[in-house]
Chains A and B, each alone.
Chain A
């Protein structure tokens, strides 16, 4: 079988393990953030800014954004290969998704490091 050109991983196993690992990162981030919001009581701008000013949380947030991008890339690649049959249309949609993932990653980094 011809190796796919628009998938993220080099093989099915590669895609699969990336998707699992990124899912764990995203779950950890969502749980931490939810716990933080609940335990903070009143969520003021100062509390929010202090959270995002810490370097470790910037890294954790960027990791979560990157995980979301890779997770979405793999997931959407699977959806497009299932449902979009015409090759040209499939390639255009896949490239747009990949570019959007990268754009959101860069944008996310810019937002996080501007705090």
Chain B
């Protein structure tokens, strides 16, 4: 069975502008493989094809790409799950392309840094560790699992238009993870950092982030919780 691919190619050192290149891949009848495996086989055909990958099991978040219009991790997306007669692979939308499917994630990481994604506790540290009840710990479920692959933020039009001001779904999921942490003492200052017209409120709730998250997380819900926390302080 021959599978057709159309892949975004751009090498800023030699190309004036990006182009789409067609590839064919022979796949055994009735068998399936992950998109990453197909990319690796295509790279055997054409060693200039460039993409990021590392763990190949959906943990490192390196190989986020856009497959037939939907962001996802190539390593955990089977070819059979990508709808359409031809598989079109592009880099994550909205970020500058370094080469082929490799994007510059600096903008994304800057937003991540902005939410201070670490525990802040100004009280005297206890002798052993800061304890947390199982109930308080359970509040972090669905938040801490984010692997920062950027599939969600780069699927979000609000992030495309204002990547310097809107924190984006991924950063906001992390922001809520520390806002709701019972051990964190900076809740108030974290909230006042998010009160401007862009950081949180540029989210229009279209839920592209939820539809693409390879870890099945729900940034829209986290953003809703942040809004409720802001509202409780501001009314």
Bound CA–CA A40/B59 (angstroms)? 63
Please state if B195 and A13 are interface contacts (CB–CB under 8 Å).
yes
Let me know if A1 is at the binding interface, CB within 8 A. Answer: yes
Known: A78-B202, A81-B162. A12 touches B196 (CB 8 A): yes
Let me know if B197 is at the binding interface, CB within 8 A. Answer: yes
Let me know if A16 is at the binding interface, CB within 8 A. Answer: yes
Count class of interface residues, chain B: 10 to 19
Please state if A13 and B198 are interface contacts (CB–CB under 8 Å).
no
Chain A nearest CB, measured from B157 CB (Å): 8
Please state if A13 and B202 are interface contacts (CB–CB under 8 Å).
no
Extra inter-chain contacts (19) besides given A15-B201, A82-B158, CB under 8 Å: A1-B196, A1-B199, A4-B197, A9-B197, A11-B197, A12-B194, A12-B196, A12-B197, A12-B199, A12-B201, A13-B195, A13-B231, A14-B234, A17-B231, A17-B234, A17-B235, A81-B162, A82-B157, A82-B161
Please state if B162 and A13 are interface contacts (CB–CB under 8 Å).
no
Chain A nearest CB, measured from B154 CB (Å): 16
Bound CA–CA A46/B198 (angstroms)? 49
Bound CA–CA A2/B201 (angstroms)? 16
Bound CA–CA A78/B165 (angstroms)? 13
Bound CA–CA A23/B98 (angstroms)? 44
Q: Which chain A residues border B227 with CB–CB below 8 Å?
A: 13, 16
What 1/0 mask marks residues of chain A from 57 to 95 whose CB sits below 8 Å from any chain B CB? 000000000000000000000100111000000000000
Give me 12 A-to-B residue pairs in the complex whose CB atoms sit less than 8 angstroms apart, sorted by A's number.
A1-B198, A4-B197, A11-B196, A11-B234, A12-B198, A12-B201, A17-B235, A78-B202, A81-B162, A82-B161, A82-B162, A83-B161
What 1/0 mask marks residues of chain A from 2 to 22 whose CB sits below 8 Å from any chain B CB? 011001010111111100000
